[in-house]
Amino acid sequence: MIFEHLDTYGHEQVVFCHNKDVGLKAIIAIHNTVLGPALGGTRMWPYASEQEALNDVLRLSRGMTYKNAVAGLNLGGGKAVIIGDPATDKSEGLFRAFGQFVESLGGRYITAEDVGIDVNDMEFVYRETQFVTGVHQVHGGSGDPSPFTAYGTMQGLLASLNRKFGNEDVGNYSYAVQGLGHVGIEFVKLLKERGAKVYVTDINKDRVARAVDEFGAEAVGLDEIYDVDVDVYSPCALGGTVNEKTLPRLKAKIICGAANNQLANNAIGDEVEKRGILYAPDYAVNAGGVMNISLEIDGYNRERAMRMMRTIYHNLTRIFEISERDGVPTYMAADRLAEERIETIGKLKLPL
């Protein structure tokens, strides 16, 4: 049953980590290491069942293979999940025991923060293994990735504007930004600096107030964000916001934002394409976070990070080219770019 699952997704290795003394139950999934060590975060979540945890880690680790490949990194895809409640089940022993399991893989898997995990937890993991990113800046960590993710999203937007309108005049277009958290607010700032008309929404009223007062955005209601007459819809909150209900309401000609898993399903991705809306694939646009932590592996440098973010422009351009070349929606073209890169680079052999 489990091996069937691994066959479906094509995983290389799945490690079940157990330490009764500290209450650790974790799964590390290494999906693909053709391009390099598998990089991907550790998520802590009170999964209802072990099967649910396994499904999640298999799905997420595969996603990291595609994300890292499209980002142009020499890294494969992996992910870990710790079964537990982040509010009540955290301890030094738990994270150190987890760190020992990461260490035991000898660098095939490099971990990072994900949902339910913070920099303090990573400090404990770091005591047991060097194969960890997202540690505190005093240990060479890269710090909050959000400004980089926002800057990377801007690169994705420039490529999208160019594709759709043949120019990159950000300030000539209007935007609906949904979610003003770490990334969203930074993105609004970048848009307003370029003179754009920006509508915003968030469930957190203070964040909306900041976007309005500090950056001059215009607030709209939580549901109204789908109806505003704008050129670009930018999901920067939750996943699944492009769905059967919202898509018919969107007037935007481009969807480009930082949120993960924006399309509710592939059929919606096809429908987006049919309606002539250009979808900038989320995992290519929001790769700034993973690019940033990838630089920790051989010594973090802010300048290199900013240069790397600019490659998102070219990655998106390439995806749009593949979409046209193969006559497929852009979400599919992004996967093809990843698969082609893994295949080509995987075959490269340096002459001795």
DSSP H or E stretch at residue 78: strand 76-83
Torsion (CA) 194, 211, 118, 335 in degrees, nearest 10: -50
Best CA proximity match to 294, nearest among 79, 110, 58, 102: 110
Residue 101 or 330: the one with the smaller Cβ distance to ligand NAD is 330
Pick the binder of ligand NAD from 120, 167, 204, 243 (CB under 6 A): 204
Q: Is residue 184 close enough to count as binding ligand NAD by CB under 6 A?
A: yes
Q: Which stretch binds ligand NAD (CB under 6 A): 4-12, 79-87, 127-135, 201-209?
A: 201-209
Least Cβ distance, residue 110 to ligand NAD (angstroms): 17
Phi, psi angle pair for 42, to nearest 5°: -105, 130
Residue 14 or 293: the one with the smaller Cβ distance to ligand NAD is 293
Q: At what angle do helices 266-274 and 330-347 cross, to 10 degrees?
A: 110
Q: Is 233 helix (H, G, I), strand (E, B) or coil?
A: strand
What DSSP assignment string belongs to 107-133?
TSEEB-B-TT--HHHHHHHHHH-S-B-
Q: Is 284 helix (H, G, I), strand (E, B) or coil?
A: helix
Residue 146 or 155: the one with the smaller Cβ distance to ligand NAD is 146
Least Cβ distance, residue 309 to ligand NAD (angstroms): 11
Least Cβ distance, residue 1 to ligand NAD (angstroms): 30
CA distances from 146 to 293, 309, 343 (A): 11, 12, 31
Least Cβ distance, residue 148 to ligand NAD (angstroms): 7
Residue linked to tokens 């409640």: 85
Pick the binder of ligand NAD from 31, 192, 207, 318 (CB under 6 A): 207
Pick the binder of ligand NAD from 214, 222, 245, 325 (CB under 6 A): 222
- Exposed, middle or buried, 104 (CB in 10 Å: 0-12/13-18/19+)? middle
Scanning residues 247 to 266, which ones bind ligand NAD (CB under 6 A)? 258-260
Residue 140 or 240: the one with the smaller Cβ distance to ligand NAD is 240
Residue 162 or 260: the one with the smaller Cβ distance to ligand NAD is 260
Q: Which stretch binds ligand NAD (CB under 6 A): 15-23, 125-133, 174-182, 319-327?
A: 174-182
Q: Is residue 286 close enough to count as binding ligand NAD by CB under 6 A?
A: yes
Least Cβ distance, residue 21 to ligand NAD (angstroms): 33
Scanning residues 122 to 151, which ones bind ligand NAD (CB under 6 A)? 145-146, 149
Least Cβ distance, residue 308 to ligand NAD (angstroms): 14
Q: Is residue 90 close enough to count as binding ligand NAD by CB under 6 A?
A: no
Q: Is residue 180 close enough to count as binding ligand NAD by CB under 6 A?
A: yes
Instruction: Tell how far CA 212 is from the center of its chain.
Output: 27
Distance, in Å, from the CA atom of 193 to the CA atom of 224, rounded to the nearest integer, reads 24
Residue 2 or 238: the one with the smaller Cβ distance to ligand NAD is 238
Least Cβ distance, residue 260 to ligand NAD (angstroms): 4
Pick the binder of ligand NAD from 14, 188, 237, 312 (CB under 6 A): 237
Best CA proximity match to 252, nearest among 189, 333, 160, 171: 160
Q: Is residue 209 close enough to count as binding ligand NAD by CB under 6 A?
A: no
Answer yes or no: are the C-beta atoms of 92 and 72 closer than 8 Å. no
Encoded tokens for 26: 């974790």
Q: Which stretch binds ligand NAD (CB under 6 A): 87-95, 133-141, 230-238, 336-344?
A: 230-238
Sign, CA torsion 299/300/302/307: positive
Catalytic site residues?
Answer: 79
Residue 36 or 184: the one with the smaller Cβ distance to ligand NAD is 184
Neighbours of 214 (CB within 10 A): 12
β-partners of residue 263 are: 242
Q: Summarize as ranges the residues that interact with ligand NAD (CB under 6 A).
A: 145-146, 149, 178-184, 201-204, 207, 222, 236-238, 258-260, 286, 289
